[in-house]
Structure 1
């Protein structure tokens, strides 16, 4: 993982070679990531604090099934700057012209696509310095609701808010020491809160396709249940037939649910989750063989090929890297 720091460490940049490294950087979101699409992972998180606002700019280059739970005292929303491909947030169709709410007592599940750049804002309402801005934020939260999901808004209102964010981020990157100035931080907080308020001025916008979204939500719940079964123990289903028996569902039902929500088959999904389990366990494993067989991979030649296709390196390379991690310079 590459680390980069701006002067006095006001801004931190981390580039990651695995989804587990990246998930750990969003530490207050209690994230777990599972890479679904194949190929080497290349991601990054740039973060800084500005008073009550924590900014997290996240980039991903692979389809990832994310699960998390934001501290209930905080409000977390994501603004997509680049979003291409099939994407869902808590059972709702995700797209470029929408705010993505990640906070809520029930947590969130996010299927993010290969092309993914988000500016995430984590705000603690009680810590906002200006009382009027604090009241505005609480009003916004009340209108949006207390659960995760997609908020569809007018694109002509979302783009100006993106521009506000671009200006703020560029300014902080150019002069990070402003984050140590109380008045500057208060101004930053107000720019975020009122910019968000402007974007939501005429919310709700557009018709909601409730029937279709209810179907997607049901299918997404089925996918969640499958992931729980597969992740819960290495003693997991190794075939669709076994999965159908465990889920009391037909092959057609599972196939349709997975294709609509994740864009891949149940078998491909289970393989991705099992490979993710292998990659995670290799960090502390005594041998590659031990981990592979634990997760049901007994044909070692096929396993090595599948692992390399999924992560861009052989399992032995992952294992050795964690035995002898390379030295990383402070300044990258």
Structure 2
């Protein structure tokens, strides 16, 4: 088997979500790809552990872990990476090192350094592991913040509640429905950018906001350049990070420009354009070739229920109604 740093190559998102179950704590500890772990069971009874995992390229690992009994965990993340752990249990959240974890916290540890977790019974945690150099470069490009590696060694991050909840909800949706859409490259790219953005927001929560560097006219010109760029690439799902890289501005500068000129966020603007793209695809679809979710995935929508809600809110009908109308039109044209 091909190896990477002594470990098997990671499970690609295109292969779906890998699920591993175990009735032994140590066996369960060995299930997480590219980690070195030892678990000690602290309470009596038959252990049960479930791990669900996928990778978005070699630089990002995403997993959900559920354990039945209290554990002491000795953990070592793969070298050159940073781990972000989001406890989502209703009760106690355990301890990382000497620090208690609160329900509003995100645990963080650098790769290549052993650390200890103590977790309670009936514990569930979401994890994102990102190549550290890739993350720092992303934060520098998107947020124009020179984040130091030391900021990722603090054991605990405490972002705003909204950012943490958004991250938790996004991951929960992926593990609930992602199996159906992760093979789509546009969905993978959209999800990768969304997770990077949310992690970057958590990492920079304590930094000073960037001072707007553009005049009102400059923001107006930027917004129109962005609009023209998006329309010129209307067959591609354009992301906020791509716009920031293309125009050499931070996410905050882009945010200021759109709010000042057209009263909406860049994300809202792009979402509307992508919804219109799906609508055009639905209205011209040949019956039986592609379903609603296939076409939505091509435009980077990986949350089916949110997509359907946004679509109906914008167009006043369900996406399935648009597809059905296309089928009727096609059938009529064929009969003539």
> Which of residues 47, 55, 62 is equivalent to 1:49?
55
- Structure 2 residue corresponding to 1:66, chosen from 63, 73, 76: 73
Deviation string, structure 1 residues 132-161 (Cα, Å, up to 9, x no partner) = 467459968637624361223332331122
Counterpart check, 1:159 vs 2:162: no
SS in 2 for 1:172: helix
Identify which of 61, 78, 82 aligns with 2:85: 78
User: In the aligned structure 2, how far is the partner of 1:137 from the partner of 1:18?
Assistant: 43
Asked if residue 95 in structure 1 is aligned to residue 98 in structure 2, the reply is no
1:118 and 1:126, CA in 2 relative to 1: closer, same or farther beyond 3 A? same
What 5-or-longer segments of structure 1 have no aligned partner?
Answer: 205-332
Structural mapping, 1:200-279, within 5 Å: 200-203=203-206
* Stretch of structure 1 that moved more, 113-122 or 158-167: 158-167
Alignment-derived partner of residue 196 in structure 2: 193
Q: 75-84 or 132-141, which moves further after superposition? A: 132-141
One of 108, 121, 126 as aligned partner of 2:128: 121
> CA, structure 1 residues 74+132, in 2 after alignment: closer, same or farther (shift >3 Å)?
closer
Offset at 1:102? 3.0
CA RMSD of superposed structures (Å): 3.2
Aligned to 2:30, which of 3, 15, 24? 24
CA shift, 1:8, in A, is: 7.1
Q: Distance in 2 between matches of 1:22 and 1:137?
A: 38
Please report the TM-score for the alignment, with normalisation by the length of structure 1.
0.52
2-structure distance, mates of 1:13, 1:138:
38
- Contact 2:106–2:157 (Cα < 8 Å) also in 1: yes
Find 2:155's aligned residue among 128, 137, 149: 149
Is the contact between residue 157 and residue 202 of structure 2 (CA under 8 Å) also seen in structure 1? no
Distance 1:197 1:84, change over 3 A: same
CA-to-aligned-CA distance 1:257-306 (integer Å, 9 cap, x gap): xxxxxxxxxxxxxxxxxxxxxxxxxxxxxxxxxxxxxxxxxxxxxxxxxx
Q: 1:189 to 1:142 in 2, by over 3 A?
A: farther
Q: Which has the larger radius of gyration?
A: 2
Q: Distance in 1 between matches of 2:172 and 2:146?
A: 21
TM superposition shift of 1:176: 3.1
- Call closer, same or farther: CA 1:42–1:110 in 2, change over 3 Å: same
Distance (Å, rounded) in 1 between the aligned partners of 2:49 and 2:147: 30
The question of 1:110 aligning with 2:117 is answered yes
Where do residues 252-331 of structure 1 align in structure 2 (5 Å cutoff)? none
Cα distance in 1, alignment partners of residues 124 and 199 from structure 2: 19
Distance in structure 2 (CA, Å) of the matches to 1:60 and 1:191: 27
Q: d(CA) in 1 for partners of 2:180 and 2:150?
A: 33
C-alpha contact 2:66 2:125 (8 A) present in aligned 1: yes
User: Any unmatched runs of 5+ in structure 2?
Assistant: 1-10, 208-336
Aligned partners of 2:143, 2:44: CA distance in 1, in Å? Answer: 40
